[in-house]
């Protein structure tokens, strides 16, 4: 059993947990994730590792309530325990000196971005961070992002914070103003695809962290498969990070939409609630 040591709500239905898991804390690196299961009847849900504390043996995760399992997890209190907490899974982010890095995140993808930009900054890079959200109230981790970024920009759909528009609007301005050595993006598929199309035109290396449907986290179930350079890869074991310009984006979007449609049919026919967005966050 894995004990919840600290819990805090940091946004609208967005929660920060610190869980006692010393072996994971000792081995985890930026870009990796865990899969949790609350009890023996629970679903397996992946979450990005945001931070670790070797001294306390704690693993920090951030998640949004989007279905039955995450809502159940949010209902637990400090001192409660969950049955399974497996990790670290996936390949870590390649942290090295690039020069100028632009890091782009949408929604709760900010949680994954934080350890990445921290590592890149420590490696000596100039880090420019761009965060997109529907509105100001959905922006999280602002103070920590400021601390780890040389420059920080926000975009919102309604203009309530930063630029009214999309992350690609700001990204284009940044690219036009200075040399960018690499772009890192995490968020909704539509956002990552748009970033990829923009950087492809500018011949800028771009890495994305994918969040497809994921079940076992070992590559056995095949649910998280994605086509990269014409070959099938499994995001849980080959990723979650890939070259953005090599991904078959339309296929990925189609598979995710198909899953949502099947879940809706299940809910309509059997009046059950499931984790309809069981993806890494």
Q: How far apart are CA 203 and CA 216, in angstroms?
A: 36
What fold does the segment set 2-89 form as a domain?
Answer: Elongation Factor Tu (Ef-tu); domain 3 (2.40.30)
Give SS3 for 231. strand
pLDDT of 28-78, one tens digit each?
A: 999 999 999 998 888 888 899 999 999 999 999 999 888 888 899 999 999
pLDDT of residue 264: 41
Candidate from 6-10, 146-150, 179-183, 261-265 with smallest mean pLDDT: 261-265
pLDDT of residue 212: 79
Inter-axis angle of helices 167-177 and 189-202, to 10 degrees?
A: 20
pLDDT of 188-238, one tens digit each?
A: 899 999 999 999 999 999 999 988 777 777 777 778 888 999 999 988 888
pLDDT of residue 236: 85
For residue 248, what are the CA distances in angstroms to 61, 111, 211, 227? 29, 25, 14, 6
* Cβ-based neighbour number of residue 270 at 10 Å: 9
Residue 269, pLDDT above cutoff 70 = no
pLDDT of residue 260: 55
pLDDT of residue 275: 40
Give SS3 for 101. strand
pLDDT of residue 211: 81
- Beta-bridged to residue 186, according to DSSP, are 105
Q: How far apart are CA 28 and CA 22, in angstroms?
A: 10
Ordered by start, the domain boundaries in the chain are 2-89, 91-209, 211-281
Q: What are phi and psi of 278, to 5 degrees?
A: -75, 75
Q: Which residue from 211, 9, 199 is spatially nearest to 106, judged by alpha carbons?
A: 211
Residue 258 banded pLDDT, cuts 50, 70, 90: low
Residue 265 banded pLDDT, cuts 50, 70, 90: very low
Mean pLDDT estimate for the chain: 87
pLDDT of residue 216: 74
Q: Which two tokens stand for residue 2?
A: 């894995």
Pairing state of beta strands 14-20 and 241-243? unpaired
For residue 251, what are the CA distances in angstroms to 208, 221, 227, 232, 264? 16, 18, 8, 11, 20
Q: How far apart are CA 4 and CA 58, in angstroms?
A: 9
**Entry pTM:** 0.86
Residue 148, pLDDT above cutoff 50 = yes
pLDDT of residue 277: 40
Q: What are phi and psi of 48, to 5 degrees?
A: -70, 145
For the residues 90-111, what does the mean pLDDT come to?
93
Decide yes or no: CATH 3.40.50.80 for domain 91-209. yes
Residue 268, pLDDT above cutoff 60 = no
Q: How far apart are CA 207 and CA 201, in angstroms?
A: 15
Count H helices, E strands: the chain?
Answer: 8, 16
Q: How far apart are CA 135 and CA 170, in angstroms?
A: 16
Q: How far apart are CA 92 and CA 115, in angstroms?
A: 11
Q: How many residues does the chain have?
A: 281
């Amino acid at each position: 059993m894995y004990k919840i040591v600290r819990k805090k709500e940091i946004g609208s239905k967005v929660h920060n947990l610190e869980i006692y898991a010393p072996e994971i804390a000792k081995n985890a690196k930026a870009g990796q994730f865990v899969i949790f299961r609350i009890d023996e009847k629970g679903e397996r849900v992946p979450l990005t590792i945001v931070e670790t504390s070797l001294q306390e043996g704690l693993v920090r995760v951030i998640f949004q309530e989007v279905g039955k399992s995450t809502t159940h997890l949010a209902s637990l209190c400090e001192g409660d325990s969950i049955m399974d907490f497996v990790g670290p899974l996936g390949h870590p982010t390649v942290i090295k000196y690039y020069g100028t890095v632009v890091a782009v995140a949408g929604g709760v993808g900010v949680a994954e971005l934080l350890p990445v930009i921290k590592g890149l900054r420590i490696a000596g890079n100039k880090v420019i961070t761009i965060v997109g959200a529907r509105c100001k109230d959905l922006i999280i981790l602002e103070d920590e992002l400021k601390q780890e970024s040389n420059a920080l920009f926000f975009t919102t759909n309604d203009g309530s914070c930063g630029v009214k528009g999309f992350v690609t609007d700001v990204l284009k301005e940044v690219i036009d103003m200075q040399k960018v050595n690499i772009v890192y993006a995490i968020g909704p598929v539509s956002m990552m695809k748009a970033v990829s199309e923009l950087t492809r035109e500018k011949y800028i290396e771009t890495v994305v962290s994918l969040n497809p449907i994921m079940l076992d986290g070992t590559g056995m179930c095949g649910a998280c498969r994605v086509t990269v350079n014409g070959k099938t890869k499994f995001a849980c074991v080959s990723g979650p990070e890939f070259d953005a310009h090599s991904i078959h984006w339309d296929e990925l979007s189609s598979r995710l939409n198909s899953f949502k449609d099947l879940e809706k049919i299940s809910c309509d026919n059997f009046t059950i609630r499931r984790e309809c967005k069981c993806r890494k966050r």
